[in-house]
Amino acid sequence: MDQIYHHLKQFGKVKLNEPLAKHTTFKIGGPADYFIVVEEREKLVELLNYLSGEGIDYFILGGGSNLLISDEGMRAAVIQLKFGRIEFTREKEAEAEAGALLSQLVNMAAAEGLSGLGWAAGIPGTIGGAARGNTGAMGYHTAGAIAKVEVWRDGEVLVLDRQDCEFGYRDSAFKHNRDVILRVWLVFKKADKGELAKEIQYNISCRTNQPKGYSAGCFFKNINLPNWPGNVNELPEIFKKRGTVPVGWLMEQVGMKGKKKGDAQVGVEHGNFIVNLGKAKANDVLALVEEIKIKVYDMFGVELEEEVEIV
């Protein structure tokens, strides 16, 4: 085994040529040269400093959702975050390490009588991933609860205020730079615990229409109403009220729901999901994505943009 492998072992558990399909919700992806499981925030900082100094490419993997990895895998050090301490530091504030599960944070906040993330009930992934992609649902976004974010940047650990994170629709500065999120501070509002429990149960029930099987979550970004090229007045009223045109509706209009390429299928229950029926390859998914994009553009003049990160 090479010297890099032995050096990496001081930062966490290391495997060579680890199939990434084992670590993503899509269950798709070839091997990583190095796969490191890091269980301490400080160890992650040390690891990033080492990789940066050695010129070794790296990729951060949290919960493995919202991600499509190529069949060839990654010629890089893939780092899985397994540190996830959550602490309520003040009456309405919490500090969460990047590897903390979003679902756990939702439940702990509700138990404290704090609202602000109830919309995220049932959404997989980590708070670090949710902050990076500004995960959202039902008109709400992760950024709405974030006060500041700690990141590793080129050997330094920095704390950024919310406005410095450049949050946008399913977007942030972290999707366009090499910053690595280490922890997040969040601000909540006081609420009745019973009402919060009802909200969480309701939001979970709203997700029962999601396709069964392996997926990465909603594949495409919904269309913001100002970007709709057609006559807005011809759209259903609920779209105008919410300010977006859902991609699931577009799939129905172009007849793509249930369509397959290999073992990849557009969701029957929810058209903005692509499902791995068991043996799908990344190339199956990408072929389906290309067909979807062409049909939606031909009918509506809309260029769909992926919400799922393709690497």
Asked whether residue 190 falls in the same domain as residue 218, the answer is no
Same structural domain for residues 94 and 190? yes
13's tokens: 């558990």
Question: Based on the domain organization, do 175 and 105 belong to the same domain?
Answer: yes
Give percent above pLDDT 90 in the chain.
Answer: 88
- Classify 155 as helix, strand or coil: coil
Residue where one domain finishes, among candidates 81, 98, 117: 81
pLDDT in tens, 23-42: 999 999 999 999 999 999 99
One domain, residues 224 and 190: no
Judged against a pLDDT cut of 70, whether residue 185 lies above it is answered with yes
On whether the CB atoms of residues 57 and 76 are closer than 8 A, the answer is yes
Q: Does residue 227 sit in the same domain as residue 301?
A: yes
| CA separation for the pair 93, 249 (Å, rounded) | 38
| Among the listed residues 136, 101, 138, 123, the one whose alpha carbon sits nearest the alpha carbon of residue 210 | 123
- How much is the pLDDT for 84? 96
Q: Mean pLDDT, to the nearest integer, of 67-87?
A: 97
Domain region containing 294: 211-310
Task: State how many domains the chain has.
Answer: 3
Q: What is the CATH number of the domain that holds 272?
A: 3.90.78.10
* Residues 259, 222: Cα–Cα separation, whole Å: 20
Give, as one character, the DSSP assignment of residue 210: S
Classified as helix, coil or strand, 253 is helix
103 and 190 in a single domain? The answer is yes
Do 74 and 114 reside in the same domain of the chain? no
CATH number (domain holding residue 119): 3.30.465.10
DSSP type of residue 182:
E
Looking at residue 11, which CATH number applies to its domain?
A: 3.30.43.10
Among 81, 106, 122, the domain-final residue is: 81
In a domain, 48, yes or no: yes
Residue 1 has pLDDT above 60, yes or no: no
> Is 206 inside any structural domain?
no
Considering only CA atoms, which of 72, 57, 66, 56 is closest in space to residue 20? 72
Q: What is the pLDDT of residue 45?
A: 98
Over residues 102-118, the mean pLDDT reads 94
For residues 49-72, one letter each, b for 16 or more C-beta atoms within 10 angstroms of the residue's C-beta and e for the rest, the string is ebbeeeeeebbbbbbbbbbbbbee
The per-residue pLDDT for 211 is 76
Mean pLDDT, the chain, as a whole number? 94
Whether residue 202 is contained in a domain is answered as: no
pLDDT tens for residues 111-165?
Answer: 999 999 999 998 989 999 999 999 998 889 999 999 999 999 999 999 999 999 9
